[in-house]
A and B are shown apart, each in its own frame.
Chain A
């Protein structure tokens, strides 16, 4: 029962570096999401996907890119990391968007 798996759990990046946050789900869910969570700010939607090959921007997409080549994987790419991207990132999935959403354990990213 893996559910939603995110890697890595922690990462420190230097300003200007790039990295990919990995997300995989084994529940055959169509919908997948990337959120960032800043202290006291709730969750802000970065990108989401309603199926393989389909992605769309959320509230805060600038500085990020995504791809969805398969149902299982939904990686989030950070290009030219900035201190403002220091946050906890969560990946989530649901079958159709109308059912319960399942979350990964998060990736804590610090940009210095």
Chain B
């Protein structure tokens, strides 16, 4: 059974710091991995999607990497800003192609001015 874990559950950093959020999954047979952002009381917004054949994806100050063999992904946020404060979730799509998207518990980030 695929399980997705995110550590830490919460993170607080001063503005301007570069930071890394971690995501691990137990079964390396995935088709892709997505990183989402969730603001309080809102839905999820997809930030980056990495296909299993890719090593990383970049969007602005965000860079996501994928090491499928070790079951790990990281989301790197450069020069963090208070507006980055949110919960970040990762989700995997198993290559068994059942249609399921399986989520981790999320990391809640607070960037202090």
Contact = CB atoms under 8 A, between A and B. Distances in A.
Nearest to A49: B99
B36 to A, nearest CB: 8
Interface string B25-49: 0000001101010000111111001
A100 B49 contact: yes
B42 A106 contact: yes
Contact of A42 (B43, B45, B89): B89
Contacts of A42: 4, 6, 89, 103-106
B100 interface: yes
Contacts of A41: 105
A17 to B, nearest CB: 24
B20 interface: no
Interface string B65-88: 000000000000000000000000
A13 to B, nearest CB: 20
Chain A interface helix/strand/loop/mixed: strand
Interface residues of A, number: 27
Interface of B: 4, 6, 9, 31-32, 34, 36, 41-46, 49, 89, 91, 93, 97-106
30 contacts: A4-B43, A31-B99, A33-B101, A40-B9, A41-B105, A42-B4, A42-B89, A42-B104, A42-B105, A43-B91, A43-B103, A49-B99, A56-B98, A56-B99, A97-B93, A98-B31, A98-B32, A100-B34, A100-B46, A100-B49, A101-B44, A101-B46, A101-B101, A102-B46, A103-B43, A103-B44, A104-B43, A105-B42, A106-B42, A106-B43
